[in-house]
Structure 1
C-alpha cells in the first residue's frame, strides 16, 4: 500500500511537471507568433501538436504563420485540420485562405467548393463578389495566358531575390543573400537574412557585375523595392523604421516605411523618411508614374480595405507631398494588394490574392489613370502567374521586356527573379455607368416604361433600355470622351433629348418629356404627329440606315401602344431624275420600311406600303422647275398614314 502511494504520488508529480512544461511551450509559441517570429512559432506549435495538442488556436496560427510565409502547402494542411474540428464557428477569412492554399496544390475543384462555402458565410466581401461575377475565372485566365516568354535570370541566389527595377545599365533588386562581409542578421519572420539592395550591371544582355548599393542606403534593417525619377537622381525605397536602431510601435514591431535619397556627384546621400510615414502602420514598395507627379505604394494605413491596399500620393514641383489616397474598391480587396508598378503607358501592375487567380499572389493589370470609367482588372495569366506567389512585376513598355519575382517550384532560392519578353500587352474593357430618371416636364412626375437610347456623336446607337417603375434607367457603355446623347421616347409625349459627356465613373441626369397627345384619326400622318424628320436613304439605296432606324423606333412604340391601328407607308421622291426610276426607287424604299417594321414585331396585316415616286409632290417643284435644293427636299418624304 505504501509503495502504491509512492507510485501514485510520483505519477502526480510527473504529470504536474509535464503540464507545466507544456504550458511553457504554449506561452513561448504564442509569444513568437505575437512577435511575428513566425518561423519560431511554427516550430513551437508543431512540437505541441506532436505532444498531442489539437487546439483550434494552434491550427489557426500554424495555418496563418505558414500562409504569411507563402508555405501554402503546409498552410493548407493546418487549415484542413482546423475545419476538421466539429462544432466550430470560424471566421470567414479562414474559408478564403483555405481555398487559396488549395490552389497552390492545383486542387482548383476543391478550392472552388470552399469559395462557395466562403460566399455562404461572408456577409459583404468584395472577394466573394468578384468570384461570383467570374466563376469561370480559369477560362478567362487561360485566354489571357501565353503572352509572355519567361526565363530565370542568372544572378539569383539560394536566398530570397525579388523587387527588380530598371536603373542605369542594369537593374536594382532586393536580396537576402550573404555577401560574407558581415555576420548575417536573421529575420525571425521567415528565418532569412535581412534584405539589402543590390545592382546587377548588364551589358549586351549579360550580367557583368552584382554589387551592393551604398551604405547610405543599406543598413542593418530591411531595404527593398526601389523606384527612380526619370533622371535617375532621386530614389524612393522601402526600409524598416530605422535610424541608428529600430523604431517600434506599441506592440514592439518595426513597421516598414518609405525613404528617399538623392544622387549627387555619383553618390547616394543620407536618406530621408517621407512625411506620411508612421510607426503604427507600414508603407512599402513605392513606384512613380511617368512624369513623377504621383507616388504609388502599398500600405495597411487607416482606410485600408483589406490586409494591404494600393495608395497614391501627389508630388508637387517642389517635392512636397499631398495626402495619401486609397485607389478604392476598383483595385483593392479585403485581401492583399501589393507591389504596384506604373508603366510608361500608364498601366498599373500589382499583385493580389484577393481576386480570382491561379493561387497565392497573382500579377494583375489595369489602367492607372482612371480618367473616364471603371477599368477592368486583368489577370496576366500563365506563365507570369502560377499556383505560388508571383509579384514585383516591371516592364519596359517600349521594348516589351521586363522582370518579376516568384517562389514557384524549380527556382534556385526562396524567391527568384525572372526575365520576360512581352508578346502582347494587356487589353482592358472600360465601362461608364449611365443612370437617369425620366420625368413629366409639366409636373415633375416620374414616367415609367419610357424607351431610352444612348447615341454617340455620329448618331449611332450604343445601347438602349426602358425606365422602370421608379422612372429610372441604368446602362453601362464603353468609355468615351466624346459627347453622347440620351433620347427618351414615350407615346403621348414629345421626344426628350439631353447631351452629355461621360467624364465620370457614373453619370446621372434627368430627361424631361413634354406631354403632347397624339393625333390618331384615320388619315393622319404619324410622321408629323411623332415629329419624325425625313427618313433618309443612301443614294440609290433602299436599305434602312441606322439614323432612320432610330426614327422608326417611334413608329414601333406607337404601334405597340395602340395594337388596333393600321398603317399605310407611302414613300415619295422629288422630281429630279427619271420618272420611272423614281417610281421604282420609292416602291423599293416603301417595301423596305414595311419589312423593317415587320422584323421588329409589327404584324403584316397591320401594314401596307406603296411608292409614289414624284406623282404626289408636296409643292410645285415639278420637272424642270427652278426650285431650290431645300424645296426639292421637302418632296423626299415618307408618310405613315393611319388607315381603317
Structure 2
C-alpha cells in the first residue's frame, strides 16, 4: 500500500490523552510523535511497542489513524479491527466509519456495508449515513458510470509524490516531492518525504507531457507549495502554501503549520506581489483553489468553522475591485463529515471534487455535480478507471478536447502518488430522468390490490401524476427528476385511504410499496402488530437501550392502536442477529424490550396489558446462526421487534 502525500493536507488528527497510571516512557514517546504529526515515526514506535507485548486502546487507535492518514488502508483495517475487538474499548462511531472505509479500499464491500450499518446504528443523523442509504446500490451506479475514460501513467512522474495538476497555457503545472533534501530539515515527518514544490511540463498533442522543470523560483520555498489555479489570461495564480514567513514554517499554538491560499501576479515573466488571501487564518487551513470559468468565484477546501467534517468545499466571490466576499460552505449535498477536497470547475460550471464521504470504491473518489443549483445537486461518481479502491483526486478536464489529468496512489504507479492523463470518450450523465414504480398491497395479508386509484403529490401538495394499479397490484407513474419529498395517495373500497411518503434523492427509479389497511377490526390473537401497523424497525443507539426519538414515532402507533382497542393485550419481543456474544445479545435485547414496555406504560397503558422480553439471537427467522456467513439483508431479518397480540 502506498503513502499519499496529499493526505498531509486536511488529515483528521485525533487528540490523544493517556490516563493510565505509571504510563510507560516508550508509549509516551510514541504518543508525542503522533501529536507532533510525525506519523511515520509514530507507526514504527507503536508497532515496536506491540511487538514487545504492549497493548492498549490508545495504541490501536493511533496505529489505525496513523496508517489511515497515510492511505495505508490495509494496515489501518488491521489495527481498527484490533481496537474494536479490544476488551473494554470505547469505540467512537468515527472509528466504525474508518474501518468500513478501510475495508472498502481492500474491495471487501460486503463487510464494509455491514460496518456502515453499525455506523448508522451509532450515528444515524450523520450525512454519510444519509448518502449511504440513498445509494445502497452504489456499486451498480458506479459500474454504469465506468468505462468512459482511457488513462495512462505520465512519463513525468517521479519515484515520490506527484499530484495536483492544473492547466496553464501550454503547460501542465503540478506539485511534486521530487526535490529530496540532503538534511532532515527538508523531510516532512508525516510521511518521510521531502516538501512539495511546483513544477511544470510541456503539453504536446504528439509527444504527450514532457520536460518537467521547476515552475517558479519565486513561488517555491522551503515549505509545501501545491494546488494551483490560473486566471483565464494567465496573469494571476492562486496556490496553496504552508503558513510561512521568510520561507520558513510558521506554526500555531498547537505547533501546526496551517495551509493558506496565496495570490501572485505575472509581470515581465516573473511571479510577483505574492500575497495572502484575507480569509486565511492561523487557526485553520485553506487549500486547493479553483477558479470559476468567468473568474468571479474561487472554490477551495477548508476546515474552517462551519465545516461539516474533516474538510469541506467552500466558495468565495471575487469582486470587481479585487476584494473578496465571505466564504460560503457549499452545503450538505456536496460536503459530508469526512473529507471533500480538490475542487475543479469546468467551462460549463461542472464541479469535480474528491471525497471519501460519498459512496465510492474506497479511499478518495472523484465526483461531479453541476454548481448552478446546489440545493438540489445530483452528485455522480465518475466511475472506473479514474476511480479505484485507493485515493483518486485532483481531477481536471478540458471539456473542449475531453482530455484531462488526475492523481492516484493506486498500485502499478511509479511513485507514492502519480499523475495520470486521460481521454473522456463519453460524457458523464449529470441529469436524471426517472419514473416511480411500485405495488399496492393489503397491509395485513400482503396480497396485491388491483384497481386501486393512485396519485403522486409533491411537497407542496400538488398532484403531478395519477394512475390505477394493474391486476397484480403494480403501478408506474412518471415522476420527473426533481429531488425532494413526495407522497403516493391511494383509495380503494373497504380500505382506509393510504398515504405513503418517499424521497426522490437519486437517479434510480424509486420502488414504492403502498400498504392499505382494511377497515379496522381488532387484530386476532397471535398477530404481530409490526405488520398490521406497518411499523418501521425500532432502532437503538449502539450498545444502548434508551428509546430514540425516531423509535418513539413508531411506538406511538402501537400506543394509538392500544388506546383504540382497550381490551387488547400484547407481548413485546426484542431480537438480535447472531453477530456478537450470545450472552451480551440476550441481555441487551431484554433491556431494550423492557425499555419499550416502560415507554408505553409512561404514556398511559396499564401495566397489566403489556409484557416484554428479550430473546437475543435465540429465535432467528433464518439459518444465520453463529459462524454462518450471511448477507447484510439476511442478518437484518433477525434484528427485529415484535408486538404480538396475546388477548
Question: 1-side partners of 2:377 and 2:197: how far apart?
Answer: 36
Q: Confirm or deny that 1:330 pairs with 2:336.
A: no
Q: Confirm or deny that 1:109 pairs with 2:115.
A: no
Deviations 1:334-390 (A, max 9, x none): 10000000011110000000011100000000002217x602100011101111000
* Structure 1 range deviating more: 301-310 or 242-251: 242-251
Question: 1-side partners of 2:23 and 2:463: how far apart?
Answer: 74
Q: In the alignment, which residue of structure 2 is the partner of 1:498?
A: none
Q: In the alignment, which residue of structure 1 is the partner of 2:358?
A: 355
Q: In the alignment, which residue of structure 2 is the partner of 1:84?
A: 85
Q: Which has the higher contact order (CA 8 A, sep 6+)?
A: 2
Q: Confirm or deny that 1:281 pairs with 2:284.
A: yes
Note the residue ranges of structure 2 that are not aligned, 5 or more in a row: 1-19, 435-452, 468-477, 484-488, 492-647
Q: In the alignment, which residue of structure 2 is the partner of 1:243?
A: 245
Q: In the alignment, which residue of structure 1 is the partner of 2:122?
A: 121
C-alpha displacement at 1:184, in angstroms?
Answer: 7.0
C-alpha displacement at 1:43, in angstroms?
Answer: 1.1
Match of 1:30, SS state, is helix
Residues 178 and 184 in structure 1, CA contact (< 8 A), matched pair in contact too: no
- Which of 258, 264, 276 is equivalent to 1:261? 264
Q: In the alignment, which residue of structure 1 is the partner of 2:49?
A: 48
Q: In the alignment, which residue of structure 2 is the partner of 1:496?
A: none
Q: In the alignment, which residue of structure 1 is the partner of 2:228?
A: 226
C-alpha displacement at 1:205, in angstroms?
Answer: 3.4
- Which of 282, 298, 301 is equivalent to 1:298? 301
Question: 2-side partners of 1:50 and 1:325: how far apart?
Answer: 48
Match of 2:245, SS state, is coil
Question: 1-side partners of 2:24 and 2:457: how far apart?
Answer: 72
Match of 1:271, SS state, is strand
Question: 2-side partners of 1:351 and 1:453: how far apart?
Answer: 35
Q: In the alignment, which residue of structure 2 is the partner of 1:162?
A: 163
* Structure 1 range deviating more: 111-120 or 413-422: 111-120
Q: In the alignment, which residue of structure 1 is the partner of 2:72?
A: 71
Q: In the alignment, which residue of structure 1 is the partner of 2:640?
A: none
Question: 2-side partners of 1:452 and 1:149: how far apart?
Answer: 43
TM-score (norm 2): 0.64
Change (3 A) 1:412 1:208: closer
Deviations 1:31-61 (A, max 9, x none): 1111111111111111111111110011001
Change (3 A) 1:50 1:20: farther
Question: 1-side partners of 2:454 and 2:140: how far apart?
Answer: 38
Note the residue ranges of structure 1 that are not aligned, 5 or more in a row: 1-18, 433-448, 455-459, 466-474, 481-487, 491-644
C-alpha displacement at 1:270, in angstroms?
Answer: 3.7
Deviations 1:381-414 (A, max 9, x none): 1101111000000000110000000000000000
Question: 1-side partners of 2:412 and 2:297: how far apart?
Answer: 37
C-alpha displacement at 1:213, in angstroms?
Answer: 1.9
Change (3 A) 1:175 1:306: same
C-alpha displacement at 1:79, in angstroms?
Answer: 0.5
Aligned residues: 434
Residues 290 and 346 in structure 1, CA contact (< 8 A), matched pair in contact too: yes
Change (3 A) 1:86 1:20: closer
Match of 1:354, SS state, is coil
Change (3 A) 1:476 1:299: farther
Question: 2-side partners of 1:250 and 1:419: how far apart?
Answer: 41
Question: 2-side partners of 1:63 and 1:278: how far apart?
Answer: 29
C-alpha displacement at 1:323, in angstroms?
Answer: 0.2
Change (3 A) 1:477 1:118: same
C-alpha displacement at 1:74, in angstroms?
Answer: 0.8
Residues 406 and 419 in structure 2, CA contact (< 8 A), matched pair in contact too: yes
Residues 259 and 285 in structure 2, CA contact (< 8 A), matched pair in contact too: yes
Match of 1:269, SS state, is strand
- Which of 382, 392, 395 is equivalent to 1:390? 392
Residues 310 and 338 in structure 2, CA contact (< 8 A), matched pair in contact too: yes
Question: 1-side partners of 2:276 and 2:131: how far apart?
Answer: 37
Question: 2-side partners of 1:151 and 1:335: how far apart?
Answer: 29
Question: 2-side partners of 1:21 and 1:450: how far apart?
Answer: 70
Question: 2-side partners of 1:429 and 1:160: how far apart?
Answer: 35
Q: Confirm or deny that 1:190 pairs with 2:191.
A: yes
Structure with bigger gyration radius: 1
C-alpha displacement at 1:307, in angstroms?
Answer: 0.6
Question: 2-side partners of 1:107 and 1:451: how far apart?
Answer: 42
Residues 103 and 112 in structure 2, CA contact (< 8 A), matched pair in contact too: yes
Change (3 A) 1:200 1:142: same
Question: 2-side partners of 1:191 and 1:111: how far apart?
Answer: 30
Match of 2:284, SS state, is coil
Residues 453 and 464 in structure 1, CA contact (< 8 A), matched pair in contact too: no
C-alpha displacement at 1:420, in angstroms?
Answer: 0.3
Deviations 1:231-290 (A, max 9, x none): 000000000001213221110100000000010111111410000000000000000010
Question: 1-side partners of 2:27 and 2:235: how far apart?
Answer: 51
Match of 2:140, SS state, is helix
Residues 406 and 420 in structure 2, CA contact (< 8 A), matched pair in contact too: yes
Q: In the alignment, which residue of structure 1 is the partner of 2:315?
A: 312
Q: In the alignment, which residue of structure 1 is the partner of 2:96?
A: 95
C-alpha displacement at 1:478, in angstroms?
Answer: 3.4
Q: In the alignment, which residue of structure 2 is the partner of 1:623?
A: none
C-alpha displacement at 1:170, in angstroms?
Answer: 2.0
Q: In the alignment, which residue of structure 1 is the partner of 2:382?
A: 380
Question: 1-side partners of 2:114 and 2:211: how far apart?
Answer: 49
C-alpha displacement at 1:318, in angstroms?
Answer: 1.6
Q: CA RMSD in A?
A: 2.8
Residues 197 and 225 in structure 2, CA contact (< 8 A), matched pair in contact too: yes
* Structure 1 range deviating more: 39-48 or 234-243: 39-48
Match of 2:334, SS state, is coil
Question: 1-side partners of 2:61 and 2:210: how far apart?
Answer: 47
Question: 2-side partners of 1:431 and 1:325: how far apart?
Answer: 30
Change (3 A) 1:246 1:429: same
Residues 375 and 431 in structure 1, CA contact (< 8 A), matched pair in contact too: no
C-alpha displacement at 1:86, in angstroms?
Answer: 3.1
Residues 174 and 223 in structure 1, CA contact (< 8 A), matched pair in contact too: yes
Question: 2-side partners of 1:415 and 1:220: how far apart?
Answer: 21
Alignment of 1:552-591 (within 5 A): none
